[in-house]
Amino acid sequence: MGFSKPSNMAAGRLRVAVIGAGGAGLCSARHILSRPSAFQPPVVFEKMGQVGGTWLYTEEADAGTPTHSSMYRDLQTNLPKEVMEFPDFAFDPSLPSFIHHSEVLKYLEDYADRFSIRPHIKFNTWVVSITPVLGERKNAEVSWDVTSQTQGNGDPVTERFDAIMVCVGHYSHPYMPHIEGLEEFQGQVLHSHYFRYPEAFSSRSVVLLGAGPSGVDIALDLSPHAKQVILSHRGPPSQWKSPENLSFVPPVVRATSTTLICEDGTEIMADAMLFCTGYKYHYPFLLTDSGVMVNQKMDQRENLMPTNVDELKKENPQLNETLNVESDLPRVNLLEDEAIVGTDVEQGHLPPLYKHLFHARYPTLGFIGACKIVIPFPLFHCQVQFFLSVLEGKCQLPPPEEMLLESREEVVKTRNSGIPLKYLHRLAANQWEYNQWLADTTGFEPLAPVLVKIFEATQDHRNIDPLLYRRLMFRILNREEFEML
């Protein structure tokens, strides 16, 4: 038995809501618009005033408004543009392979213009809630009520859609693990999400917790300005020659008012501690039965978990009191699964997903780009086409109970293997097989094999010398071959 279009969707063109106008949202809208016989023009909800998502750099947040972007002033991509681009839209070939973040934003703006997406975007509009409206066949016949609020436009508006594509990314809500005694530390404490420029740390001793791509890049950005830069991490020793004022220590596990104490007992006198520890999944518009958000854990210094509406007001104080939205529809818990005890709630989590994409219970709800450690834009391209093909009825899914079973088995397998559940949707080297499966199953052209080769070459050079690898230049010769300058 396969998943087919519900009867309420089969009669005419489908109406799809896209939440977010970053790379994933723009890609979703572009491919919806390319299928006018199957879909009405999309409605894209974007809380910012322009496209770009995380690539929309902001110098500092306004008072009372959270910082959405994780870009810092001098950030350059850690992947060459040749593998970053959407397969149907190239970067400017005159650009170097590793580009400043502003060039990626321009690329997304050009993409939106090329495919005439802007007229379909509701800017400065927050999605307050999405609620499934169940048909007679329950999960197989579900449409969606989306309640949104546009800045300065009075009352919230509720619209009905046949499907939802959640494209909000996962680089906006910092994760900071608990460190004993950190509240006593007198130095500056912040997450890399709020780091903007290294001059703010001139002549200071800075400890960075986490030596992933962000930790290493920010450490190298700080090095010419800071007195001392210390990378604290659990990984193997560095194999590359670091600047003289950059050193490595085991993880910081405790703090006093004046020192940071590592796992091996090393004590560090530091002026600042910078968490490079990743981000939480965050879906405040997915509600539980009581209307309380599921995966919105507050900062460890706070005690209460806010309601969806309260959180929205906190994040966007300019919104008026009409956000106290009441609905006659039952609230369905879209994030939790009673058969699975939370997937690392402290880092936030996703609902039970089939193939990292479909809500296993309600497969007309899709999450584009929720996977981690991937090349984002090509992944979006593949996931979007698979999701839309299912909506069109060109590709069938198993019934919801089978998808739910598979998602549960994936959680159990991950847990039993000793891998933290926060890595449940971490693809890394498996991304190529995953993207190929999406293409083969749906029938669209797969990603070019040369992308894998360039990606692996980039990794090799970054591991050898993270200071200089961005000087490389790549040129694609054909679907299989490239040259490197």
pLDDT at 346: 59
Running DSSP on this structure, what letter comes out for residue 307? B
Report residues of the chain scoring pLDDT below 70: 1-11, 61-66, 136-140, 287-333, 336-349
CATH architecture of 7-173+280-442: 3-Layer(bba) Sandwich (3.50)
- Segment (H or E) for 85: none
pLDDT value of position 339:
52
Domain boundaries, the chain: 7-173+280-442, 182-275, 450-484
Spatial contact of 260 and 273, defined as CB atoms under 8 Å apart: yes
Gyration radius of the chain's alpha carbons: 23
Task: Say if residues 295 and 348 touch (Cβ distance below 8 Å).
Answer: yes
Helix (H, G, I), strand (E, B) or coil at 482: strand
335 close to 129: Cβ distance less than 8 angstroms: no
Give me the pLDDT at residue 329, please.
42
Euclidean distance between the first and the last CA atom of the chain, given in angstroms as a whole number: 52
DSSP 90: P
**HSE of 297, CA atoms in CB hemisphere, 13 A:** 19
Q: Which of 329, 395, 337, 328 is nearest to 362 (CA)?
A: 337
Which pLDDT value is given to residue 300?
29
The predicted structure's pLDDT at residue 68:
84
Please check whether the two domains, 7-173+280-442 and 182-275, share a CATH topology. Answer: yes
Q: How far apart are CA 319 and CA 312, in angstroms?
A: 8
Which residues does 332 contact at the CB level (< 8 Å), separation at least 6?
Answer: 131, 132, 287, 289
**Alpha carbons 300 and 369: distance in angstroms, whole number:** 27
Give the pTM. 0.88
Domain 182-275 fold: FAD/NAD(P)-binding domain (3.50.50)
Q: How many CB atoms lie within 10 A of CB 131?
A: 20
Give the orientation angle of helix 376-392 with respect to helix 23-33, to 10 degrees.
40
The confidence score (pLDDT) of residue 289 equals: 43
| Closest C-alpha among 303, 84, 276, 317 to residue 189 | 276
Please give the pLDDT value at position 351.
83
